[in-house]
Structure 1
């Protein structure tokens, strides 16, 4: 009778070990799958960022090519005014 109890405990121990192994493998599968998808999304986002940078550069060149000379002079004058305003901002208030 004692040998029967030892055999049951061995079988139960093996069954629990097998169940834990299966649960671990299933969890590993889903974590690995989520990680792969996240890596794909990061790669796509980096590619999108690169394309947007190129589009912005092209748009800047296009705008500069179509900008009249008068606006450039006015912009330079407004930048000088902005520099004077920046100096006033540096003065500490009491």
Structure 2
């Protein structure tokens, strides 16, 4: 009689342990799946940001190229330097 009662208790205990393990597994699966979904959303947002930044960089390059001053001749640069030098000399206080 003891063997019949003990075997019934053991069956219930193993069933309870199985249910607890399954519940823990489901809870872990839920949190891992949730974290994975959030990570995928963040990756999509980062990719969208990267695409926008690439577009902005391309537009900025176009603007910079369009607004580049034309290169001046050497004579013009030298004449501007001499004028700048004369201005500096004129700024020096005379005693």
Fold-level match, TM-score > 0.5?
yes
Q: In structure 2, what is the equivalent of residue 40 of structure 1? A: 41
Q: In structure 2, what is the equivalent of residue 90 of structure 1? A: none
1:16-75 residue CA offsets vs partner (Å, 9 max, x unmatched): 00000000000000000000000000000000000000000000000111111117x8xx
Bigger Rg, structure 1 or 2:
2
Q: TM-score, normalised by structure 1?
A: 0.73
Q: TM-score, normalised by structure 2?
A: 0.73
- Where do 5+ consecutive residues of structure 2 fail to align? 74-95
- Separation in 2, partners of 1:2, 1:65: 94
Q: In structure 2, what is the equivalent of residue 15 of structure 1? A: 16
Corresponding residue pairs, total: 72
Aligned to 2:71, the other structure's residue is in SS state helix
Q: Which structure's residues are more often helix, by fraction?
A: 1
- Where do 5+ consecutive residues of structure 1 fail to align? 74-94
Q: In structure 1, what is the equivalent of residue 50 of structure 2? A: 49
**Alignment root-mean-square deviation, CA:** 1.4
